[in-house]
Amino acid sequence: MNINVILSPPEIDLLPQADLTGTTCVVFDVLRATSSIITALANGAAEVHPVRTIEEALALKQRFPDAVLGGERFGDRIDGFDIGNSPLEYRALAGKRIITTTTNGTIALRACEKAERVLVGALLNLDALVAELAASSPENLAIICAGTFRELALEDVLAAGAICAKLPGTALSDSAMVALDVFKQHQRDLPGALRASRNGQALSAAGRDLDVQWCAQTSICDTIGQMQAGIITKSASLEGIAS
Ligand code: MLT
């Protein structure tokens, strides 16, 4: 397996034109979009539609009037939407169809849609992801770090490095080696690293410490979220998640 890590949004912009044949993409927006999606699926949400813009979200809502509208801009709930982007809000949506648009996470997910397979990554489901990747053994694995606005986000790079660490015997690109080194440096205290990151501090300053704590939990569920034709569903789940 060849592992490449896409470290930041300017590289994500190039993905729609990239050749992703034979490639599995795992998308991480640890704080908070992909953690919220995994939380929703682990708690029984039926499906999640990640979209790029508020307009697309509103158009989909017309098509699916019962759907829950979620997402954020500048971290806050979008006017008129049902919920924001806190993973804590995504715990009580069993059976629901969710439409979400966020600044980076949903953009990164949709940028990968030509890949053979697109999986949703979080620390919450880390071991399950590793087991899934080891079993499916794709020829190429691209780990996508969704970042913050136009910049790299430490928490996403840590998660990418954790995957590299847990899949030995793979061929790492230089960016994957960087992610692995960053993970090794912080692996003893991932929650501390998340708190110290730019996003962790911004969320904390906004009174959202509990979101950071939630997203920092490692391997508390076995949920695999897979996106097909723009819709994320649970592809395998052995257990639920603590609520
Ligand atoms: C994003 O997609 O940019 C984020 O998840 C931002 C956030 O709500 O923390």
pLDDT digits (tens, 9 = 90+) for 119-149: 999 999 999 999 999 999 999 999 999 999 9
pLDDT of the residue at 186: 98
Say yes or no: CB of residue 29 within 6 Å of ligand 1. yes
pTM: 0.95
Find out whether the beta carbon of 105 lies less than 6 Å from any atom of ligand 1: yes
| Any atom of ligand 1 within 6 Å of the Cβ of 89 | no
CB 26 within 8 A of CB 129: yes
What are the tens digits of pLDDT across the range 99-123? 999 999 999 999 999 999 999 999 9
Confidence of residue 238 (pLDDT cuts 50, 70, 90): very low
Residue 237, pLDDT > 50, answer: no
Question: What's the pLDDT score for residue 20?
Answer: 95
Write the burial class of residue 95 (CB in 10 Å: 0-12 exposed, 13-18 middle, 19+ buried).
exposed
In this prediction, residues 175-183 reach a mean pLDDT of 98
pLDDT for 4 beyond 60: yes
CA of 184 to the centre of ligand 1 (A): 25
User: Which atom belonging to ligand 1 lies closest to the Cα atom of 199?
Assistant: 9
CA distances from 87 to 5, 106, 135, 222 (A): 25, 15, 28, 16
- The amino acid occupying position 163 is I
19's CB contacts (< 8 A; 6+ apart) are: none
